């Protein structure tokens, strides 16, 4: 890419897409195009095709997706499977038809088998059963990876796929039922402090291990890969560091200033027992994350507090 390249960021209002757009602008790439969901329904193939024909983007960051936590994935599997299949298929095919120079598809670490060997290598894909609680979303993302590889193989399209670990950061989703674990806990601890509660209850046992990456670090990684990576083989994007859910809860407790105790709801599912990605291929290319979990939580909580109008709207 050069500074005058026309770049389409699909999902520019989401946490990851907005971080990518900010990073592009920071690097001096100001010829970016995007559209809100009300302006462009990515599930509509004709609308997507018309957008590509009209705007003629040269590069595409495909960060648009229907996302949610365990509860949302369990409750709306048809929506997660259908909408994500349509979004990625429409954009990837339109990128081929309209001769996009390069496309980066963003998947998710949930594509890997529930009991994959840890840390999870890229070649673990399709080597075992998926975690049932987010199977629909995972299957859609796997289809997106395979679609990029198929267009690469059949037509020589420079379509690559990156698999981010668990993300958090500016503009995260704090919905009480449909959010991921980190923002869900951050909101819960904040509300408990505001309401003077004596305890915060977290789902499951607190023992599962998770890896978290600040969204601005992922954006920088995506920019790096678009410039440097050409292999159709998917590539993991993570920190290489993990923390238990209990340790995460303690960090969030300290970040929010909550002074009560932490308890557990053992009737709720833990999900995958451990999920750490092997990001050695990315690191060997020369990219490493910059933001520690402690620092990232402080930035995220400050952003949460600064968006009181958004917070109030989802109470």
State how far the Cα of 94 lies from the Cα of 88, in Å rounded to an integer.
Answer: 10
Contact 256, 142 (CB under 8 A): no
Phi and psi for 275 in degrees, rounded to 5?
A: -145, 95
For the packed helices 245-256 and 181-194, what is the interaxial angle rounded to 10 degrees?
Answer: 40
Enumerate residues 6+ apart whose C-beta is below 8 A from 143: 85, 88, 89
At 139 the three-state DSSP class reads: helix
For the packed helices 77-97 and 45-55, what is the interaxial angle rounded to 10 degrees?
Answer: 30
204 known member of a binding site: no
270 known member of a binding site: yes
109 known member of a binding site: yes
12 known member of a binding site: yes
State how far the Cα of 124 lies from the Cα of 81, in Å rounded to an integer.
Answer: 21
17 known member of a binding site: yes
C-alpha 278: how far from its chain's center? 17
State how far the Cα of 290 lies from the Cα of 241, in Å rounded to an integer.
Answer: 12
State how far the Cα of 7 lies from the Cα of 196, in Å rounded to an integer.
Answer: 47
15 known member of a binding site: yes
43 known member of a binding site: no
Phi and psi for 305 in degrees, rounded to 5?
A: -70, -30
280 known member of a binding site: no
210 known member of a binding site: yes
13 known member of a binding site: yes
28 known member of a binding site: no
Enumerate residues 6+ apart whose C-beta is below 8 A from 108: 137, 138, 141, 163, 164
Indicate the helix (H) or strand (E) that contains 106. strand 102-106
Selected catalytic residue, list 96, 137, 151, 170: 137
286 known member of a binding site: no
| Residue 59 is among the residues annotated as catalytic for this protein | no
Q: Burial-class residue 295 by CB neighbours within 10 Å (0-12, 13-18, 19+).
A: exposed
22 known member of a binding site: no
Q: Burial-class residue 228 by CB neighbours within 10 Å (0-12, 13-18, 19+).
A: exposed
107 known member of a binding site: yes
Active site members: 137
Which residues contribute to the annotated binding site for NADP(+)?
A: 11-17, 106-109, 141, 180
Which residues contribute to the annotated binding site?
A: 11-17, 106-109, 141, 180, 188, 203, 210, 270
């Amino acid at each position: 890419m050069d500074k005058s390249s026309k770049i389409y960021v699909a999902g520019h209002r989401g946490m990851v897409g907005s971080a990518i757009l900010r990073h592009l602008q920071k690097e001096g790439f100001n010829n970016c195009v995007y559209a809100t969901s009300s302006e462009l329904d990515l599930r509509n193939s004709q609308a997507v095709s018309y957008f590509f024909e009209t705007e003629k983007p040269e590069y595409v960051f495909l960060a648009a997706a229907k996302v949610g936590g365990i509860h949302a994935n369990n409750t709306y599997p048809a929506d997660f499977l259908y909408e994500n299949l349509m979004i990625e298929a429409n954009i990837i095919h339109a990128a081929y038809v309209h001769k996009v120079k390069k496309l980066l598809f963003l998947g998710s670490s949930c594509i890997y088998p529930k009991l994959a060997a840890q840390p999870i290598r890229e070649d673990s894909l399709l080597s075992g059963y998926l975690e049932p609680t987010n199977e629909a979303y995972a299957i859609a993302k796997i289809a997106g990876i395979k679609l990029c590889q198929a267009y690469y193989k059949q037509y020589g399209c420079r379509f690559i796929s990156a698999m981010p670990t668990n993300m958090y950061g500016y503009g995260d989703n704090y919905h009480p039922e449909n959010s991921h674990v980190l923002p869900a806990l951050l909101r819960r601890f904040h509300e408990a402090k505001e309401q003077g509660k004596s305890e915060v209850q977290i789902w499951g046992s607190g023992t599962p291990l998770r890896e978290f990456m600040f969204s601005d670090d992922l954006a920088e990684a995506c920019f790096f890969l678009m410039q440097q990576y050409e292999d159709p083989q998917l590539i993991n994007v993570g920190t290489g560091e993990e923390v238990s859910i209990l340790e995460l809860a303690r960090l969030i407790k300290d970040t929010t200033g909550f002074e009560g105790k932490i308890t557990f709801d053992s009737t709720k599912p833990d999900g995958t027992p451990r999920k750490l990605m092997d990001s050695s291929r990315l690191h060997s290319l020369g990219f490493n994350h910059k933001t520690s979990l402690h620092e990232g939580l402080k930035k995220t909580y400050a952003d949460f507090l600064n968006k009181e109008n958004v917070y109030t709207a989802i109470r």
